[in-house]
Amino acid sequence: MDIYNLNIYKKGRGFTLVELLVVIVVLVVLTGITIPTYVLIIGRARETATENEMNNIARGLEIYITDNFTYPLEDDFPDSLKTSGIMTNITGNDTWGNPYQYTSSSGNNYILKSYGINKIDGGNDDIVFTNGKMTENGAYPNR
């Protein structure tokens, strides 16, 4: 029996160039759809995590003012929440790694701010809490 005369070797058993190109185009289209969606989902998740942490900090600040009759001053944040035992695990950074911006000059009110993903003050992605309430809700308001 001659191995080269077998029927299986006479048929073309590979993929044509057109078939390979179709598969590559399909993969490129799927990648083009999934990567932006993934980036959007990650951005929303980080923003939601930052909002939740800032809400917890705002609650901690309300407990702090109840106990001390004043909000902590800028120089004392976030250490005052740690040393008072209200929030011992506060990091002071948002999910993008930026420090929270806290202002309270008089002790009667405060503004807690995260600059968001662009890390710049005044962008439409800033998350701001003023005296316990969220006043600006970041880049993904339509959730």
Give 115-143 pLDDT, tens digit per residue: 988 888 887 888 999 888 888 776 655 54
φ and ψ at 64, to 5 degrees? -60, -45
Give the residue extent of every domain in the chain: 16-137
Q: Could you tell me the pLDDT band of residue 2, with boundaries at 50, 70 and 90?
A: low
What number does CATH give the domain 16-137?
Answer: 3.30.700
Write down the residue that tokens 């902590």 correspond to.
72
- Please tell me the predicted confidence (pLDDT) of residue 136: 76
The strand order across the sheet containing 111-114 reads 101-103, 111-114, 127-130, 133-137
Q: Could you tell me the pLDDT band of residue 12, with boundaries at 50, 70 and 90?
A: low
- Please tell me the predicted confidence (pLDDT) of residue 11: 60
